[in-house]
Chains A and B, each alone.
Chain A
């Protein structure tokens, strides 16, 4: 039994390996880009727009609202990063119900890559907001003795972010495969539906956690900067 789509190899040129994860990741990316391109090409501001434009407008509008709720800041600058994360995870989780599709989010390498993006996005937004010095000073709060714990906290939540998405999606497809052996008639269909729900919830949770991490990084350092100004 395959525990992750990494082990399914199609071709290999020397060191470069084309496995199922890379193939389906590019497939999902191509799908999203082609769909968005075909809709954006004929955007209209009149009232008789078609279903696809409506879908994208609802998606972007709701994303903006949710990000604003989570970060309590102007959501426009977070939208490119967080929206990309959400749409990619959502599409690759929803496509699980297509037979033969192995979700790239069920591989630890994909989820680690996504979590690393969040890991680097937190200092990026923090430094852009407050400057390098103020941001680094935030790690010494409340006392310099807590520096190792602050750093360890950053690392451990990145690991948790990656493992959570991987565990949920991988266990979903694993349970499906096991149930297909045990009870092949109706039970796998129900489990697929539960897996679909879990996939959507996990995409939402991943994005919200990233938003909360970024916002908390920025807020904590805002307090530091304010305290500095008072002194």
Chain B
């Protein structure tokens, strides 16, 4: 296989692995946060609004690793800098 083929294989594989591992981490974190929030709402129903607000904010922070992975795999798939470089080299 030539260089272009290897770059394509590498990009797709890297995007898949990146998205998969990234999703696992933040999903486990958000699951734990949600379960704790639900059990604390069950114990203190009066504080529901406060708990929900902190849950949202905390989940947003946890989620950012997942978002990084998503952006990275999107870039690898659709706006790959290596791909563009070799296309330019092959064309020019």
Contact = CB atoms under 8 A, between A and B. Distances in A.
A208 interface: yes
B49 interface: yes
Q: Report whether over half of chain A's contact residues are helix, strand or loop; otherwise say mixed.
A: helix
A64 interface: no
B64 A3 contact: no
Query: Interface range on chain B: under 10, 10 to 19, 20 to 34, or 35 or more?
Result: 10 to 19
Nearest to B65: A160
A163 B50 CA distance: 26
B57 A163 contact: no
B71 A167 contact: yes
A9 B74 CA distance: 22
A162 to B, nearest CB: 10
Contact of A3 (B60, B63, B75): B75
B60 A209 contact: yes
A166 interface: yes
B6 interface: no
Contact of B60 (A170, A171, A205): A205
B53 interface: yes
Query: Interface range on chain A: under 10, 10 to 19, 20 to 34, or 35 or more?
Result: 20 to 34
A181 interface: no
Contacts of B74: 3, 170-171, 174
B4 interface: no
Interface string A192-231: 0000000001001100110010000000000000000000
B68 interface: yes
B37 interface: no
B67 interface: yes
B49 A69 contact: yes
B45 to A, nearest CB: 17
A1 interface: yes
A205 B50 CA distance: 14
A212 B55 CA distance: 13
Contacts of A3: 74-75, 78-79
A174 B77 CA distance: 12
- Counting chain A CB atoms within 10 Å of each CB, which of B50, B60, B68, B70 scores highest? B60
A164 B60 contact: yes
B78 A1 contact: yes
Given A66-B53, A163-B64, A204-B56, 4 more contacts: A70-B53, A164-B67, A170-B71, A212-B57
Interface of A: 1, 3, 66, 69-70, 160, 163-164, 166-168, 170-171, 174, 201, 204-205, 208-209, 212
* 3 cross-chain pairs, A with B, having the tightest CB-CB distances, nearest first: A167-B67, A205-B60, A160-B64
